[in-house]
């Protein structure tokens, strides 16, 4: 099929490459000149394992191209995917849907009456109905607009796009359903569950899924708060409850919580939208989910104060990891950066290490010492905080190597990802969120 993908960030660039890999002819439209130039040169403008190679492959095959704007070629497309951002509005919990409005207005002059527009961005329920009207006014006919929420995870984005655990489409008409069945045919042929719903359900599926995941993480983090004051162990607790299939053991590791460009803004936008619909009470609990999450970030500073004293000025703290999760360079609402900022406020010198995203750290947080060399980063540190569980921090000889250069062998495991015994054997005092590891050592 001939398709366009509008907005080439973490979601859109991955989706465009995945569609080209499936054999479609793809035109990617990106408003940011730097990102566009990178993509045109075969460079993915962010870190996503495997995506660079896949991009080069589809460029070489000739079935993908990138442009700043639509032109007559867009009119040949049978399907247009909307992948622009829907960030949190400043000063509000609500989502900013203005980029979607601009995107459909720019598309309208090039939209064929029989072509289908499929939104993939995460939106407040009801957005598609508004966009249908905007598009109809601009195009002069009733468009085929569908919603097709995206569930990819940064770090495994391409794999998730090509082998998703389900595809959900919300449609109003047969034309949209057939176009989406056709574009995903190769994936559906593998037996991938395919759910066809009305549009509000499809819009809600994504925010409901993210709210559930956020709640699960905050639930175990709330248990961690209880464990810390009662001498219990939240890691053992998670394992024990996780054996119950109804609960499951995934997304149940306590730590400094969730972040990134999706979960925090999605639960807030959901609260704002529910309020507008007069059913705010239904998702009031998400405010607690958000609060628990933010409290766990502050817990790290409490522990540093407990261990190093109330005044941290003059102390040097190494934060391991900056991205919101491993295998990503995404710093949006990153718990690691939030923790580093909280430590900085106390007057300590904050050194940040991350395998991939230090350029972003330098650009966005000039207050931190961003050091690429791990041994240099650790030199003279009074404490080390594991904030993002990159594999390189968990494996190898890190406890012994860092132990040689730090001023004080104190490590706070903010992700419950370190091998406790290994660190203790190397002479470290290890404090893990939600557990009293010294008692178990
Ligand atoms: N990042 C993820 O893992 C993920 C997963 C699922 C869903 N989502 C949702 O997908 C949407 C996009 O997220 P993202 O992380 O890719 O955001 P992003 O900010 O990385 O990408 C959005 C891109 O759209 C471009 N853009 C904005 N307006 C445009 C226009 N009119 N024409 C062309 N390009 C335009 C921006 O320049 C930017 O590159 C959001 O709604 C998000 O919630 C993201």
**DSSP notation for 73-117:** GGGG-SEEEE----PBPTTSSSB--HHHHHHHHHHGGG--TT-EE
pLDDT of residue 97: 98
Judge if the beta carbon of residue 271 lies within 6 A of ligand 1: no
SS3 3: strand
pLDDT tens readout for residues 237-282: 999 999 999 999 999 999 999 999 999 999 999 999 999 999 999 9
pLDDT of residue 439: 54
Cα–Cα–Cα angle for 427, 432, 434, rounded to 5 degrees? 150
% of the chain with per-residue pLDDT over 70: 99
Judge if the beta carbon of residue 25 lies within 6 A of ligand 1: no
Residue 409 lies in a domain: yes
Residue 86 lies in a domain: yes
| Domains contained in the chain, number | 2
What residues contact 96, with CB distance under 8 A and at least 6 apart?
A: 85, 86, 87, 88, 89
Pairing of strands 316-320, 194-197: unpaired
The continuous run of DSSP H or E covering 239 comes out as: helix 234-242
pLDDT tens readout for residues 404-416: 999 999 999 999 9
Question: How far away, in angstroms, is 371 Cα from ligand 1 center?
Answer: 29
Judge if the beta carbon of residue 355 lies within 6 A of ligand 1: no
CB atoms within 10 A of CB 156: 15
pLDDT tens readout for residues 180-212: 999 999 999 999 999 999 999 999 999 999 999
Q: What is the CATH number of the domain that holds 302?
A: 3.40.50.720
Q: For residues 101 and 25, is the Cβ–Cβ distance under 8 A?
A: no
Judge if the beta carbon of residue 86 lies within 6 A of ligand 1: yes
Judge if the beta carbon of residue 154 lies within 6 A of ligand 1: yes
% of the chain with per-residue pLDDT over 90: 98
Question: Do 267 and 175 share a domain, yes or no?
Answer: no
**Distance of alpha carbon 62 from alpha carbon 57, whole angstroms:** 9
CB atoms within 10 A of CB 269: 25
Domain with 93 in it: 2-196
**pTM to 2 decimals?**
0.96
Mean pLDDT of 161-168: 98
| Mean pLDDT computed over every residue of the chain | 97
pLDDT of residue 437: 78
Please identify, among 149, 181, 196, the residue that sits at the C-terminal boundary of a domain. 196
Question: How far away, in angstroms, is 334 Cα from ligand 1 center?
Answer: 17
- Choice from 85, 267, 324 to test ligand 1 binding pocket (greatest atom count within 8 A of CB): 85
Question: How far away, in angstroms, is 373 Cα from ligand 1 center?
Answer: 32
Give the pLDDT band of residue 425 (cuts 50, 70, 90): very high
Please identify, among 145, 175, 196, the residue that sits at the C-terminal boundary of a domain. 196
Question: How far away, in angstroms, is 331 Cα from ligand 1 center?
Answer: 14
Q: For residues 7 and 85, is the Cβ–Cβ distance under 8 A?
A: yes
Nearest atom in ligand 1 to 10's CA: 16
């Amino acid at each position: 099929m001939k398709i366009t993908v509008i907005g080439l960030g973490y979601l859109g660039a991955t989706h465009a490459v995945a569609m080209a890999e499936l054999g479609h002819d793809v035109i990617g439209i990106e408003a940011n000149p730097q990102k566009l130039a990178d993509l045109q040169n075969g460079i993915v403008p962010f870190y996503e394992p495997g995506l660079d190679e896949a991009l080069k492959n589809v460029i070489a095959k000739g079935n993908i191209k990138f442009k700043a704007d639509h032109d007559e070629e867009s009119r040949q497309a049978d399907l247009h995917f909307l992948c622009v951002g829907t960030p949190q509005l400043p000063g509000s919990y609500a989502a900013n849907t203005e980029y979607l409005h601009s995107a459909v207005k720019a598309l309208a002059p090039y939209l064929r009456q029989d072509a289908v527009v499929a939104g993939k961005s995460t939106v407040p329920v009801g957005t598609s109905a508004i966009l249908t009207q905007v598009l109809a006014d601009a195009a002069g006919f009733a468009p085929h607009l569908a919603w097709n929420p995206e569930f990819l995870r940064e770090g495994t984005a391409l794999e998730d796009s090509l082998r998703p655990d389900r595809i959900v489409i919300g449609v109003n008409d047969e034309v949209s359903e057939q176009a989406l069945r056709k574009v995903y045919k190769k994936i559906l042929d593998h037996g991938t569950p395919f759910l066809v719903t009305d549009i509000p359900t499809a819009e809600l599926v994504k925010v409901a899924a993210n709210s559930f995941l956020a709640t699960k993480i905050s639930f175990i983090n709330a248990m961690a708060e209880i464990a810390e004051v009662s001498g219990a162990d939240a890691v053992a607790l998670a394992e024990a409850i996780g054996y119950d299939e109804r609960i499951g053991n995934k997304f149940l590791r306590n730590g400094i919580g969730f972040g990134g460009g999706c979960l925090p803004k999605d639960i807030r936008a959901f609260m704002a939208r529910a309020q507008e619909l007069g059913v705010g009470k239904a998702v009031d609990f998400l405010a607690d989910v958000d609060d628990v999450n933010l409290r766990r970030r502050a817990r790290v500073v409490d522990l540093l104060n407990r261990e190093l004293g109330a005044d941290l000025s003059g102390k040097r703290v190494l934060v391991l990891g900056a991205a919101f999760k491993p295998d990503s360079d995404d710093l949006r609402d990153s718990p690691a950066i939030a923790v580093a900022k909280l430590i900085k406020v106390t007057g300590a010198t904050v050194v940040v290490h991350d395998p991939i995203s230090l350029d972003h750290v330098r650009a966005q947080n000039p207050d931190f010492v961003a050091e690429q060399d791990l041994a240099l980063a650790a030199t003279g540190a009074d404490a080390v905080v594991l904030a993002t569980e990159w594999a390189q921090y968990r494996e190898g000889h890190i406890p012994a190597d860092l132990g040689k250069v730090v001023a004080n062998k104190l490590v706070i495991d903010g992700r419950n990802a370190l091998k406790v015994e290994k660190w203790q054997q190397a002479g470290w005092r290890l404090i893990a969120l939600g557990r009293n590891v010294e008692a178990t050592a």
